Structure 1
Amino acid sequence: MTDHAKIQDRIDTTRPHTARIWNYWTGGKDNYPVDQEAGDQIRELHPGIGDYALADRRFLGRAVRHLATEAGIRQFLDIGTGLPSADNTHEVAQRIRPDARIVYVDNDPLVLVHARALLTGTTEGRTDYLDADLRDTDGILEQAAKTLDFSEPIALMLLGVVIFVEDDAESYAVVRRLMDALPSGSHLALSHTITSPSMPDVDEAVAFWNEHGTPRLTQRTPEQVARYFDGLELLEPGVVSCNRWRPDEQDLTAPADVAMYGGVARKA
């Protein structure tokens, strides 16, 4: 069996998958009827869910622009990449810094199929893709070091991915192990689905997803999300709804709050 056939064999089209539903909500075409059906059912439970996907995507763009422009970051380790879309990390970063280097990491076979779209960039810079699980921190760091210079600051991008680590202690430990390996001046950009008494329909939608879809996800409170940044210099405005992190004009017209919170912090 060829490598491509092996990858295709890993794709389960009988159960909805979070990356493909996210892709569906953001207007992509890399999804199947089973994903569209589940996505529509979740949207019935919580009509604003599509806004969360878009808010998270736009948060990525604003965070990368800040990191590449104001923080001077030239290297990005993007774990939990998801399916390629408009304005991926390397596209945003290399528009500002053509020599930027980006390593994408994901273990979704469909993302791997489309990895070629993530490996196009400027001739001055470099992009690479690793097929790995977030929990394999040693393997990720070892492989990423072939592309990134760990003596220079790196931005660790963890957008909507630690939600798949159910155990709280393990999820915090994974983030800490990754940040501990990065030099001073590195940054962490992280987003996470929250649970809040003011958003009960979100809990209902997540419960539906965990019963019918894969992989299961874990919600955490805004206070629990803020803990991922412990020991780091949290940038203003802190850990907030993604569309309220340094919003531009388009974000100001979006819903006031989404149940996807994020923040950016610097390692001293």
Structure 2
Amino acid sequence: MSTGTPSSPPQIDTSKAHPARVYDWLLGGKDNYPVDEAVGEKLPPEARDAARQNRRFMQRAAAWLAGQGVDQFLDIGTGIPTEPNLHQIVQGIVPSAKVVYTDNDPIVLRHAEALLVSSPEGATDYIAADVRSPGDIIRHARGVLDFERPIGLSLIALMHFLPDDQDPLGIVGELRAALPSGSYLVLSHAASDLHSELAEQVTAEYARAGIRLGFRTRAQVARFFDGLDLVEPGLVTAPQWYRTPPAPTPEDSGIYAGVARLP
């Protein structure tokens, strides 16, 4: 089943670029506007590679978690649906899995209504909310997910849209604190120390569109996992993270990725 349809969806602002729609453009999607395309076209070609690497990391991590018996997922910063979506992956392994999607772009919500259709045994829900309001997200998610059992928290290519002055560590800490023991954090994040010139170029182009970024070093990204048990192979680049053979094709990347278990 699917739930969470809003009675009056907020209006879409087509005059300003939005990260979810730029990401859609980078993935070759059609659910974006000229203002988003304008940003995407100014980004280096490696940005498309990063978007694809992010997506595939999410798919591998979600499948692995479902294979470990995790049947509840909270995906924040969902982005515009691009198949296979997280719920399609996990419900293909555990048909009764429940997934709550969250994004702050109205176009994502509208696509969610039409496309994020659950398996009959499971459930999908979606909420228009911002990760900077973690309490609101948790309150909504409690209506669908059982917070007495493990949950997979997915933060894919999201936290680098929160500079340090927006307290990203505190936000992730609040989300983590609400999760029960045995839950997992799945996180990918743009690097500032792998390809610094490209990182600076991407940051500058987004800034021209009014979107602030906070790329981070490996040590800074690792802080999101403090106190958790990192799953092998640890915090690596997105193409290097896998648990089930075959291994992804080796390629250069400016994205860190990791999965960790809450003790």
Tell me the TM-score normalised to structure 2 length: 0.92
Q: Which residue of 1 aligns with 2:118?
A: 121
| Equivalent position to 1:59, from 44, 57, 75 | 57
The 4+ residue runs of structure 1 with deviation greater than 3 A are 247-250
Residue 133 in 1 paired to residue 130 in 2? yes
CA contact (8 A) 2:194 2:254 kept: no
Distance in structure 2 (CA, Å) of the matches to 1:259 and 1:3: 40
How far did 1:243 drift?
1.1
CA contact (8 A) 1:80 1:159 kept: yes
Distance in structure 1 (CA, Å) of the matches to 2:158 and 2:228: 19
How far did 1:234 drift?
0.4
Q: 1:197 to 1:82 in 2, by over 3 A?
A: closer
Residue 264 in 1 paired to residue 259 in 2? yes
CA contact (8 A) 2:18 2:105 kept: no
Q: Percent identity?
A: 44
Distance in structure 1 (CA, Å) of the matches to 2:240 and 2:37: 28
How far did 1:118 drift?
4.7
Q: Which residue of 2 aligns with 1:219?
A: 215
Residue 244 in 1 paired to residue 240 in 2? yes
Distance in structure 1 (CA, Å) of the matches to 2:115 and 2:74: 13
Matches within 5 A, 1:25-174: 25-42=26-43, 46-69=44-67, 71-167=68-164, 170-174=167-171
Aligned-partner SS, 2:61: helix
My pick for the range that moved more, 138-147 or 14-23, is: 14-23
How far did 1:212 drift?
2.0
How far did 1:199 drift?
3.5
Q: Which residue of 2 aligns with 1:15?
A: 16
CA contact (8 A) 1:84 1:117 kept: no
Distance in structure 2 (CA, Å) of the matches to 1:267 and 1:168: 26
Distance in structure 1 (CA, Å) of the matches to 2:129 and 2:37: 26
How far did 1:47 drift?
2.0
Q: What's the RMSD between the two structures over aligned residues? A: 1.9
Q: Which residue of 1 aligns with 2:3?
A: none
My pick for the range that moved more, 201-210 or 87-96, is: 201-210
Distance in structure 2 (CA, Å) of the matches to 1:209 and 1:21: 10
CA contact (8 A) 1:7 1:113 kept: no
Deviations 1:126-161 (A, max 9, x none): 000011111212211111011000001000001111
Aligned-partner SS, 1:147: coil
Q: 1:178 to 1:127 in 2, by over 3 A?
A: same
CA contact (8 A) 1:234 1:265 kept: yes
The letter of the residue matching 1:232 is: L
Aligned-partner SS, 2:126: strand
Q: 1:118 to 1:230 in 2, by over 3 A?
A: farther
Distance in structure 2 (CA, Å) of the matches to 1:143 and 1:41: 37
User: Tell me, which stretches of 5 or more residues in structure 2 are unaligned?
Assistant: 1-5
How far did 1:192 drift?
0.8
The letter of the residue matching 2:198 is: D
Distance in structure 2 (CA, Å) of the matches to 1:25 and 1:13: 17
How far did 1:15 drift?
2.6
How far did 1:204 drift?
1.4
May I ask how many residue pairs the two structures share in their alignment?
257
CA contact (8 A) 2:81 2:116 kept: no
CA contact (8 A) 2:187 2:257 kept: yes
